[in-house]
Structure 1
Amino acid sequence: MTAPTQQFTVTRTDGELAAHALMYAVSELSLIRVTGQGGAAYAQLQVCPSGARYRSVVDGMSPRAARELTNGYHANFHHPVLYAAALRLGAVRLAELVPMSRSLRAVLVAAPAVAATADITENVVNLYLHRDTRRITDTTATVSSALSIVKWGGTVGPLAYMTVGFLPIWGRAVRDRFARGR
């Protein structure tokens, strides 16, 4: 990553990015609360190696955990849109601040949308599987896991790249602000 092309100045895009990031954070906290006791099963089902393992996780949940996990999947249909919007704005803003190739910018902008699509599809698949555990096979567990991998790769990858890009910029801006304040 190269140095910024200009001094950091807060723009409208920064305000929109902060608003989207805040909405995402509130949504994430809400999902954690709604998913409740189903949270442990949710984590175990992210990448399940087999239908048998997937089924054992689902069958091992208490009725309350199963209900709360289902509620979490339903509540999670808007959440991917929020993180995709925040990550897209982050990519656009970072591209304004540091030189990057068009292809990198395109990947950083598109990956969150692909991830959100995979996330929503994963929710549909998991709701379908949880409704009748006889539907759980090695193939359906693999589909769910593949969607999860796309979801996490399309969010964590761009987020990590943007974090590495933004931290020095924001750090310099804070340092310069304090230096001027003396």
Structure 2
Amino acid sequence: MYWVSEYSLITVTGAGGSAYVQLQVCPSGARYRSVIENLSPRAARDLKKGYIANFHHPVLYAKALRLAAVRLSELLPVSPTTRSVLLAAPAVAATADIAENVVNLWMHEDTRRITDATATTSSVLAAVKWTGTIGPLLYLSRGFLPLWFGAVRDRVPGWSRTP
């Protein structure tokens, strides 16, 4: 579900995709403004469409990561603290993602709003978003991949556990 949502977002962003990537962690208001001002009209339109479409994406990935955390804790021993972090981090990331979209749309409406402070705000929200998404995703993958490979191994004739 996460990857389907991510792919749909990339598709919607279209010609604005490279700007979207450049703006994720932009070091200054001047750099942010430069990226926006150098967009073609189509790329600017696609970038804005991407931000608008991105309001559903955080909810989808937060739900998917939360469901995965619950399932992993049913299958493997997971400490209460780790489980709490795995459940909370996606919600924090989704909140940061939505806030980042609001800030970016607000700045794109009037480039005079792009300052070092607003660009930094957007960058911090992006960093929180990525940390709260990628961290749990990596942890969950570390837990699920051995289970999935084990299930495949057990179903393939001639592929035993012993060498």
Scaled by the length of structure 2, the TM-score of the pair is 0.94
Using the TM superposition, give the Cα deviation of residue 72 of structure 1 relative to its aligned residue in structure 2, in angstroms.
0.5
What is the distance in 1 between the residues matched to 2:89 and 2:4? 22
1:67 equivalenced with 2:45 (yes/no): yes
Of 119, 122, 145, the residue aligned with 1:167 is 145
Aligned positions, number: 160
Instruction: Report whether the alignment pairs 1:178 with 2:156.
Output: yes
Verify: 1:98 aligned to 2:76, yes or no.
yes
Q: Is the 8 A contact 2:5 2:61 kept in 1?
A: no
Unaligned runs of 5+ in 2: none
Percentage identity across paired residues of the two chains: 70
1:147 aligns with 2:125: yes
What secondary structure sits across from 2:52 in the alignment?
helix
Cα shift at 1:180: 9.0
Unpaired stretches in structure 1, ≥5 consecutive residues? 1-20
CA displacement, residues 80-126 of structure 1 (integer Å, 9 cap, x when unaligned): 10000000011111111111110100000110010000001100000
What's the C-alpha RMSD, in Å, of the aligned pairs? 1.6
The code of the aligned residue for 2:45 comes to R
Per the normalisation by structure 1, the TM-score is 0.84
Runs of 4+ off more than 6 Å:
none
Q: Per-residue deviation at 1:39?
A: 0.3
Report what 2:89 is aligned to: 111
| 1:13 aligned partner | none
Whether 1:52 aligns to 2:49 is no
